[in-house]
Structure 1
Amino acid sequence: MSRIVIIGGGPGGYEAALVAAQLDADVTLVEADGPGGACVLTDCVPSKTFIASSEVMTGYRHNDRFGIRSGGVEATVDAVAVNQRVKKLALAQSGDIQDKLVKVGVDVVRGRARLGEDSLGHTHQVLITPEGSDAYALDAATVLIATGATPRVLASAKPDGERILDWRQVYDLTELPSHLIVIGSGVTGAEFASAYLAMGVKVTLVSSRERVMPHEDADAAMAIERVFRERGMTILSKSRADSVVNTGDGVLVTLADGRTVTGSHALMAVGAVPNTASLGLREYGVDVADGGYITVDRVSRTNVPGIYAAGDCTGVLPLASVAAMQGRIAVWHAMGEAVAPLRLRTVSANVFTDPELATVGVSQNDVDAGRMPARQVMLPLTGNARAKMSDLRDGFVKLFCRPATGQIVGGVVVAPKASELILPITMAIENNLTVDQLAHTITIYPSLSGSIAEAARQLMQHERQ
């Protein structure tokens, strides 16, 4: 029986473990925090649960326009109750993952691991240190490293868990901030800024770029920024934070141009760094790129035969879905199964702001830069009947197709639950469908998804002009 040791129990690790057990491998999974790793316990699952509470507030605040009166009673947010629910659901999800792993025979070790002494032969030594027990060594034919990443810390703005927070510490607050300053306008910063704004918190978003979410579709990011501003968020564009200081009863943020901003709390959302420093990688000969990311190919192999890596520690694409697929691909490849290399062109991604922003395939930047010739159409949701019924005034569907064949190669959706609406576009790209085929698909009326078929019909019409 082939032995596989997996270091890290996030999506890249536990999904790989499930596949390996299915293939009758002897699987040991080592995780310091618990099954699901940071993704489930402190990052993705908690943040989306928190955002779910903010969505309830958004709906409550805008009931009047549907003819529903609240009787003058204003809804309030119980921060303790919200955060307790966040933590409870995260632990429950971790428990479910633990049960799945144990059921299929995976040996789950709570602790840490690193590569041991390099030795001749076809096995790799892994040193495992269980929590509260002595270290021991295991020899494995395959080692998968899936240790994830952790919030980046700036020397001049170190989180203290009280006033200066990283995104893993917000769930310990016993009351909502009166004025939250979010440092960083990438995906994480935008999501938390959106959620706290919906909960009635005064929010200032410090963005070093000209617009929020600079790496997302420009039309989509600007649409969401417009919503942020209309709802009262202060956005400081082209502003870089030099330092953040806890003043005792608040925070003082000093910007690079000398301006200062004061608030009750600051949330640091300035990226993440891979958890690779203490794994013995370089000593073992594993290639590690600048920034600490493990270099892998499209089947998750490192340069050392038998050593694989998956997830945020590789820097390929920081999405739980990608981490999980990298992990599965690693195991399939290591076990000699037929496997298709990772295809990032068919990976959909979502930003859980309000409204959401979902993308897949070719981007506007690819088209504008000439990397991918494409025709496109952008269809505002304001003309969609279902959107009118729900009083949705912001959002659109954008579709890209090849000029000659009409093959769908990309899409963008800005709408509530865009994470669900992007699926038909993703499936179209995955299966090489054309705008003609999508246009001939009957959609429910009224539905937001009808705008996707309508966008395809408009591209089909353009094709014949």
Structure 2
Amino acid sequence: MTSVVIVGGGPGGYEAALVGRQLGADVTLIDSDGIGGSAVITDCVPSKTLIAAAELMTEVGRANELGLMLRDGVRPEGLISPDLTAINQRVKGLAMEQSADIEERLVRHGVDVVKGFGRLDGSGAVVATTPDGGERRFEADSILVATGATPRTLPSAMPDGERILTWEQVYDLAETPTHLIVVGSGVTGLEFASAYLALGIPVTLVSSRDRVLPGEDADAAAVLEEVVTRKGMTVLGRSRMASVTRDGDTVTVTLEGGQSVTGSHCILALGSIPNTAGIGLETAGVETDKGGFVTVDRVSRTNVRGVYAAGDCTGVFMLASVAAMQGRIAMWHLLGDAVSPLDVWKVSSNVFTSPEIATVGTTQQQIDDGTYQAEIVMLPLATNPRAKMKGLHDGFVKLLVSPGSGRVVGGVVVGPNASELIHPVSVAITARMTADELAQAFTVYPSLSGSVAEVARRLHHFDR
């Protein structure tokens, strides 16, 4: 029986462990922070639970437009207000329940779950330092490193866990912010800024770039920035943070130009650093890049035979879904099962703002800079009958199609539940479908997904 030791219990680690047991390996999983990792305990599950509360506030805010009022002409949104303490209690409760469910499943399938800090001892063993200070050594035929990443901080902007916070610390807020400053206009920063804005909290976003979400579709980012600005968010573009300081109940963010903005709380969304220091990679000879991320190929192999890596510690595509797939691919490869190398082009991703932004495949930027060629059609969501019924005005569906074959090569959806609406586009790309084939699949009328089919129909060429 092949022995596999996995260091890290996030999606890359626990999904790999389940596959390893399915294929008959003897699997030990060593974890120090809680099964599920940051995705379950401090990042994806908590943030999306918080966002779920914000989404309901947004829905209620549209009630009057749909003709809904309580008796005596009172608007529903006037009767609802967020209890951040209760929201955070639910957030943390659901995270811990999910973590416990995953651990129970691992144990039920025969994975040896060890609580401790794992470090490689060469390429054939892992030593776990347990909570009582003891050590346990595990020999391994193969090792998977899946240690994740943590929020990046700067000496000039150090979190205190009370008013200057990383995104992992927001769920311990003891009071509702009176003015929240979010530093960083990437995905994480925008998700929190959008959520707290929807909960009725004044938000200022500090962005060092000329637009929000610089890594996302430019049309989608423009829609989102217009929406959040219309809803009252202050967006400080081209404003690089120099420092964040606290004086009592006041937090001051000083910008490089000398200007400053004050608030009651600040969330730092400055990116992530890999958890690769002190885990024995150098001893084992495992290569990392200048940022500390483990270098892997498309089947999750490192440069050292028998040592694999998966998830955020590789920096390949920092999504829970990608981490899980990297972990599965590693097990399939090392245990000799059929395996397809990771293809990040097929990865669908989502920004959980209001509205959501979902993308997959080739991007508009790649078309604009000449990397690829594609025909593009974009249809405003406001033209969709179901959107009109629901009082939705912001968003669009965009499809990118190869000019020769008519094959769908990319897509963007902006709107409520974009994370669900992107799936047919993702399937079309994976199955190498043409726009005509996508258009000919039935959609429900009326439905928001009907816009996906409508855009595909508009890409039809009689002579193709």
> Normalised by the shorter chain, which TM-score bucket?
over 0.9
User: Hey, what does 1:241 align to over in structure 2?
Assistant: 241
Query: 2:163, 2:298 → 1: CA distance?
Result: 42
- Range 330-339 or range 68-77, more displaced: 68-77
Query: 1:367, 1:464 → 2: CA distance?
Result: 23
- Asked if the contact 2:118/2:129 (under 8 Å) is kept, the reply is yes
- Select the residue among 91, 110, 113 that pairs with 1:105: 110
User: Hey, what does 1:121 align to over in structure 2?
Assistant: none
User: Hey, what does 1:84 align to over in structure 2?
Assistant: 89
Query: 1:28, 1:175 → 2: CA distance?
Result: 41
User: Hey, what does 1:127 align to over in structure 2?
Assistant: 127
* Structure 1: runs of 5+ lacking an equivalent: 119-123
Matched, 1:343 2:346: no
Counterpart secondary structure, 2:102: helix
Query: 1:80, 1:248 → 2: CA distance?
Result: 21
- Range 84-93 or range 363-372, more displaced: 363-372
Mapping for residues 201-280 of structure 1, pairs under 5 Å: 201-280=201-280
Mapping for residues 298-377 of structure 1, pairs under 5 Å: 298-377=298-377
User: Hey, what does 1:115 align to over in structure 2?
Assistant: 120
- Asked if the contact 2:121/2:283 (under 8 Å) is kept, the reply is no
- Asked if the contact 1:28/1:109 (under 8 Å) is kept, the reply is yes
User: Hey, what does 2:295 align to over in structure 1?
Assistant: 295
User: Hey, what does 2:6 align to over in structure 1?
Assistant: 6
Query: 2:167, 2:317 → 1: CA distance?
Result: 19
Query: 1:28, 1:172 → 2: CA distance?
Result: 32
Q: TM-score by structure 2 length?
A: 0.98
Matched, 1:391 2:396: no
Query: 1:88, 1:139 → 2: CA distance?
Result: 36
Deviations 1:390-420 (A, max 9, x none): 1110000000010011000000000100000
- Asked if the contact 2:310/2:326 (under 8 Å) is kept, the reply is yes
Q: What is the CA distance between 1:464 and its match in structure 2?
A: 4.4
Q: What is the CA distance between 1:286 and its match in structure 2?
A: 0.5
User: Hey, what does 2:195 align to over in structure 1?
Assistant: 195
Deviations 1:144-202 (A, max 9, x none): 00000000011101000111000011100122211000000000000000000000000
- Asked if the contact 2:122/2:280 (under 8 Å) is kept, the reply is no
- Asked if the contact 1:43/1:168 (under 8 Å) is kept, the reply is yes
Query: 1:426, 1:322 → 2: CA distance?
Result: 14
Q: What is the CA distance between 1:133 and its match in structure 2?
A: 4.8
Query: 2:319, 2:6 → 1: CA distance?
Result: 19
Provide runs of 4+ in structure 1 moved above 3 Å.
none
Mapping for residues 54-69 of structure 1, pairs under 5 Å: 54-69=54-69
- Residues 75 and 337 of structure 1: CA distance in aligned 2, closer, same or farther (over 3 Å): same
Mapping for residues 383-422 of structure 1, pairs under 5 Å: 383-422=383-422
- Asked if the contact 1:78/1:175 (under 8 Å) is kept, the reply is no
User: Hey, what does 1:93 align to over in structure 2?
Assistant: 98
User: Hey, what does 2:381 align to over in structure 1?
Assistant: 381
Query: 2:157, 2:232 → 1: CA distance?
Result: 26
Counterpart secondary structure, 1:460: coil
- Range 276-285 or range 286-295, more displaced: 276-285
Q: TM-score by structure 1 length?
A: 0.97
Alignment RMSD (CA, Å):
1.0
Aligned residues: 459
- Asked if the contact 1:287/1:303 (under 8 Å) is kept, the reply is yes
Matched, 1:427 2:427: yes
Query: 1:130, 1:22 → 2: CA distance?
Result: 27
Counterpart secondary structure, 2:459: helix
User: Hey, what does 2:282 align to over in structure 1?
Assistant: 282
Letter in 2 for 1:4: V
Counterpart secondary structure, 2:162: coil
Q: What is the CA distance between 1:283 and its match in structure 2?
A: 2.2
Query: 1:399, 1:199 → 2: CA distance?
Result: 33
Query: 1:395, 1:378 → 2: CA distance?
Result: 10
Query: 2:34, 2:300 → 1: CA distance?
Result: 23
Query: 1:245, 1:229 → 2: CA distance?
Result: 26
Q: What is the CA distance between 1:61 and its match in structure 2?
A: 2.0
Q: What is the CA distance between 1:423 and its match in structure 2?
A: 0.3
Deviations 1:111-139 (A, max 9, x none): 11101146xxxxx0111112225102111
Query: 2:148, 2:335 → 1: CA distance?
Result: 23
- Asked if the contact 2:62/2:391 (under 8 Å) is kept, the reply is no
Query: 1:175, 1:452 → 2: CA distance?
Result: 42
Query: 1:90, 1:439 → 2: CA distance?
Result: 39
User: Hey, what does 2:18 align to over in structure 1?
Assistant: 18
Q: What is the CA distance between 1:282 and its match in structure 2?
A: 1.6
Query: 2:439, 2:460 → 1: CA distance?
Result: 8
Mapping for residues 431-450 of structure 1, pairs under 5 Å: 431-450=431-450
Letter in 2 for 1:69: M
Deviations 1:299-346 (A, max 9, x none): 000000000000000010000000000000001101011111001111
Query: 2:289, 2:33 → 1: CA distance?
Result: 26
Query: 1:15, 1:285 → 2: CA distance?
Result: 25
Letter in 2 for 1:76: S
